[in-house]
Amino acid sequence: MAPRRIAASFSAAFLLLLPAVASGGLSSYFGTKSRYEEVNPHLVQDPLSLGPTVAGSRLPAPCTPLQLRAVLRHGTRYPTTGQIRRLGELHARLLRRPAAAAAACPAAADLAAWQMWYEESLDGRLAPQGRRDMEHLARRLAARFPALFASRHRLVLASSSKHRCLQSGDAFRRGLGPSLSLSGHEIEIEVNDSLMRFFDHCAKFVALVEENEAAMCQVNAFKEGPEMKEVLEKVASALCLPVEELNADLVQVAFLTCSYELAIKNVTSPWCLLFSEEDAKVLEYLNDLKQYWKRGYGYDINSRSSCILFQDIFQHLDKVVEESKSSKPISSPLIVQVGHAETLQPLLALMGFFRDAEPLKANNYIRQMHRKFRSGQIVPYAANLVFVLYHCDQVKTPKEEYQVQMLLNEKLMLFHHSNETISTYADLKDYYKDILENCHFKEECELPKVNITAVDEL
């Protein structure tokens, strides 16, 4: 294979610390319910565009990509059954109000007229927009890495067992074109929950975080705190409802509906009119707090449980290096795995990305105004973390022969150990040596023998 220079086709805004250009209104505060366009606004115009190109992201020597490994979040999905049920209750409450009260409240009247079209059976399934998210992502990745995707019949595709992930995998495959394999058979999607839903398989995480109410004390405190109280009062007044009839969960469901209607139907629904930008920031913080304590830096076990996936990524990279050194063909040039926000967030925390100096807490909303940990910027729908391993020629030292780049949502990431967007594979492994050698899923996830439920012992 002739060495090809890597086209400098990465977005200029690759510094992930820069806030994305808000596409107007509240949509930059939708947290994990954010559209992918929120982090790549150029896609609104053209979903296949690779974005503004930038000089300076060129690799130092002629390099050929050997392997691309992508960990994806599924595309845009419908609300879950629980959310749909709560929305139904809130909507019914508005419909029950006397006509006189409704007349005094234009917002409430608009909402009463809104058609409740979500059915419980939609339960978190992939929406048609979610299929498009994946097809377009596949086509953009193929355009960025044409040499690798030329061998797309050797794509290894894995997924969580959830319907929306399998459907996303299928849409990704479709995005790459019709007949993938030489024999005309479609590439199979392997279900692997121990890699893509490691959190379900980690007893310590399940017992001490997932099913431990006390672990979410910061989230619950924020729900009762002054910022949320103010939002509740404003929403109650807009709806002409007594504030006692509302709570944080109902208000959150109204805000979620605003985000779902935009992501799924591309409309600004009347639910959005209940919220100002200030309210949206508070509700975004509530969403981020939950992600932080349940999936992020809040508790070590959240990220440690992902070391099984982290190690799997490096095992495959090691294998590629070995094959390359012995001049063998690369057995898996393309590995794409579809999971959840809950798959990506812990993995990024394990690697130390988006870590703020102070923890996110119920009482530091203002101090966290400029936090790095903003879920909507990290794991919107169709979020993707891509590792690319290169073989480079004409290098000065042997270790420069193998280099790695990481892209989050198609933007180059800065490695922590070098503050650069490329690293030798050896340096990267050295930086993460402790996780690679000392993090063992089985031991990390074992429940401690003593009965601990107190949060400060986690």
How far apart, in whole angstroms, are the C-alpha atoms of residue 170 and residue 119?
24
Partner residues linked to 157 by β-bridges: 189, 336
Nearest residue to 25 (alpha-carbon basis) of 373, 273, 380: 273
**Window contacting ligand NAG (CB under 6 A); options: 191-199, 236-244, 359-367, 391-399:** 191-199
- CA–CA–CA angle 126, 128, 129 (5° rounding): 95
- Of 74, 91, 136, 391, which residue is the catalytic one? 74
CB 453 to ligand NAG: min, Å: 5
In the bound state with ligand NAG, the residue whose beta carbon lies nearer, of 252 and 421, is 421
In the bound state with ligand NAG, the residue whose beta carbon lies nearer, of 194 and 247, is 194
Per the annotation, the verdict on 74 as an active-site residue is: yes
Residue 13 — φ and ψ, nearest 5°?
Answer: -85, 40
245 part of the interface to ligand NAG, by CB under 6 A: no
**Window contacting ligand NAG (CB under 6 A); options: 18-26, 192-200, 287-295, 330-338:** 192-200
**Sites for ligand NAG among residues 193-232 (CB under 6 A):** 194-195
In the bound state with ligand NAG, the residue whose beta carbon lies nearer, of 64 and 403, is 403
In the bound state with ligand NAG, the residue whose beta carbon lies nearer, of 97 and 355, is 355
**Sites for ligand NAG among residues 298-357 (CB under 6 A):** 312
In the bound state with ligand NAG, the residue whose beta carbon lies nearer, of 82 and 448, is 448
Helix (H) or strand (E) run with residue 93 in it:
helix 81-95
Residue 79 — φ and ψ, nearest 5°?
Answer: -65, 160
Contacts of 458 (CB under 8 A, 6+ apart): 208, 209, 215, 299, 300, 301, 452
How far apart, in whole angstroms, are the C-alpha atoms of residue 235 and residue 241?
8
CB 242 to ligand NAG: min, Å: 36
Token pair recorded at residue 266? 């591309």
CB 30 to ligand NAG: min, Å: 15
Give rounded-to-5 percent helix, strand, coil for the chain. 50, 10, 40
Contacts of 359 (CB under 8 A, 6+ apart): 292, 297, 298
Q: What is the CA radius of gyration of the chain?
A: 23
Site string for ligand NAG, 134-173 (x = CB under 6 A): ----------------------------------------
**Window contacting ligand NAG (CB under 6 A); options: 189-197, 273-281, 335-343, 371-379:** 189-197
- Give one DSSP letter per residue of 273-333, joined into a string: GG--HHHHHHHHHHHHHHHHHHTSTTSHHHHHTTHHHHHHHHHHHHHHHHHHHTTPPPS-S
What count of residues does the chain have? 458
Sign of the torsion angle spanned by Cα atoms 234, 235, 237, 242: negative
Token pair recorded at residue 93? 């409450």
**Window contacting ligand NAG (CB under 6 A); options: 117-125, 186-194, 346-354, 426-434:** 186-194
Nearest residue to 219 (alpha-carbon basis) of 283, 155, 165: 283
CB 358 to ligand NAG: min, Å: 19
- Secondary structure, 3-state, 300-313: HHHHHCCHHHHHHH
In the bound state with ligand NAG, the residue whose beta carbon lies nearer, of 192 and 332, is 192
Sign of the torsion angle spanned by Cα atoms 58, 61, 65, 70: negative
Rule CB under 6 A: choose which of 266, 326, 327, 397 binds ligand NAG. 266
CB 247 to ligand NAG: min, Å: 26
In the bound state with ligand NAG, the residue whose beta carbon lies nearer, of 286 and 408, is 408
- Where would I find the beta strands (DSSP E) of 59-132? 63-73
CB 194 to ligand NAG: min, Å: 5
In the bound state with ligand NAG, the residue whose beta carbon lies nearer, of 183 and 451, is 451
Site string for ligand NAG, 432-451 (x = CB under 6 A): -------------------x
**Sites for ligand NAG among residues 366-425 (CB under 6 A):** 419
Nearest residue to 57 (alpha-carbon basis) of 4, 20, 2, 5: 5
Rule CB under 6 A: choose which of 9, 80, 81, 192 binds ligand NAG. 192
The count of residues interacting with ligand NAG (CB under 6 A) is 9
- CA–CA–CA angle 244, 257, 212 (5° rounding): 65
**Window contacting ligand NAG (CB under 6 A); options: 133-141, 188-196, 326-334, 431-439:** 188-196
CB 420 to ligand NAG: min, Å: 7
Residue with tokens 């050194």: 325
In the bound state with ligand NAG, the residue whose beta carbon lies nearer, of 237 and 315, is 315
CB 16 to ligand NAG: min, Å: 12
Rule CB under 6 A: choose which of 119, 190, 230, 300 binds ligand NAG. 190
Q: Give the binding site for ligand NAG (CB under 6 A).
A: 190, 192, 194-195, 266, 312, 419, 451, 453
Could you give the residue numbers annotated as active site? Answer: 74
